[in-house]
Amino acid sequence: DIVMTQSPDSLAVSLGERATINCKSSQSVLNSSNNKNYLAWYQQKPGQPPKLLIYWASTRESGVPDRFSGSGSGTDFTLTISSLQAEDVAVYFCQQYYTPPPTFGGGTKVEVK
Amino acid sequence: QVQLVQSGSEVKKPGASVKVSCKASGYTFTSFGISWVRQAPGQGLEWMGWISAHNGNTKSTQDLLGRVTMTTDTSTSTAYMELRGLRSNDTAVYYCARGRIVGGSTPIFDHWGQGTLVTVTS
């Protein structure tokens, strides 16, 4: 199974500042035949189920604010919140869908400083 | 709008079984698979398995082989997950999630149920 490792475990960011979350896969999730990275990001607010934010490493799901962006390729990926809002307090998870079974990172908790 | 509504919380004794339901609405049920994902208290997300609502094919993790059964009832657009031989470390919130195939065969999860807390305690 592909192991997904996120860092940091938690971070505190001031409102309006940038938050950056990292995700590393134990093997590449880049498909060389279509040049796509099979990597998704989810947001989970307290007491709620996860919500899909981004797939193909950088494609925002419909309705997701553009302050959320994804980048990276191969084994190293980043989720950036460009200007943290109070409603962004949550745990964020990455997930690979390159090969079964789908596997998730351990999560990064984002709080307001 | 797409909705997945799950059954309510359960408290079970070790060795017992639990069956969680997930009723779908707002889309053609047989056009998407349903995955089951669990989250132990304060922990991350663990994919348990998947069922095709189209033909009933299933796949589950090696760890749960023999203990988990996933089924669907297309007449009511409902998916079910039964877990047998419950242990204390099966205590978790169990989610159903609609799987969207965007490439290959492994899905992303674009809609989730509200979760069902299963507590295993003697």
Per-residue confidence at B2, pLDDT binned at 50, 70, 90? very high
Count, residues in chain B: 122
Q: Which residues is B68 bridged to in the sheet?
A: B83
Q: What is the pLDDT along chain A (113 residues), one digit of tens a residue?
A: 999 999 999 999 999 999 999 999 999 999 999 999 999 999 999 999 999 999 999 999 999 999 999 999 999 999 999 999 999 999 999 999 999 999 999 999 999 99
**Measured between CB atoms, does A61 come within 8 Å of chain B?**
yes
- Name the closest residue on chain B to residue A59, using Cα atoms: B102
**Is the separation of the CB atoms in A102 and B47 below 8 Å?**
yes
Which one of B3, B109, B111, B114 would you mutate to disrupt binding with A, by most A Cβ within 10 Å of its Cβ? B109
| CB contacts, 8 Å: A42 with chain B | 45, 109
Q: How high is the pLDDT of residue B69?
A: 97
Write down the pLDDT at residue B105.
83
pLDDT at A65: 97
Determine the residue among A95, A99, A108 to mutate to test chain B binding: the one whose Cβ has the most chain B Cβ atoms within 10 Å: A95
Q: Which of A96, A98, A107 sits opposite B44 (nearest CB)?
A: A107
**CB spacing of B47 vs A38 below 8 angstroms:** no
pLDDT of residue B65: 82
**Which tens digits make up the pLDDT trace of B77-114?**
999 999 999 999 999 999 999 999 888 889 999 999 99
Establish if A56 touches chain B: CB-CB under 8 angstroms.
Answer: yes
Q: How far is CA B24 from CA B14, B21, B31, B44, B57, in A?
A: 30, 10, 12, 24, 18
- A61-91: b (≥16 Cβ within 10 Å) or e: beebeeebbbebeebebbbebeebeeebbbb
pLDDT digits (tens, 9 = 90+) for B20-59: 999 999 999 999 999 999 999 999 999 999 999 999 999 9
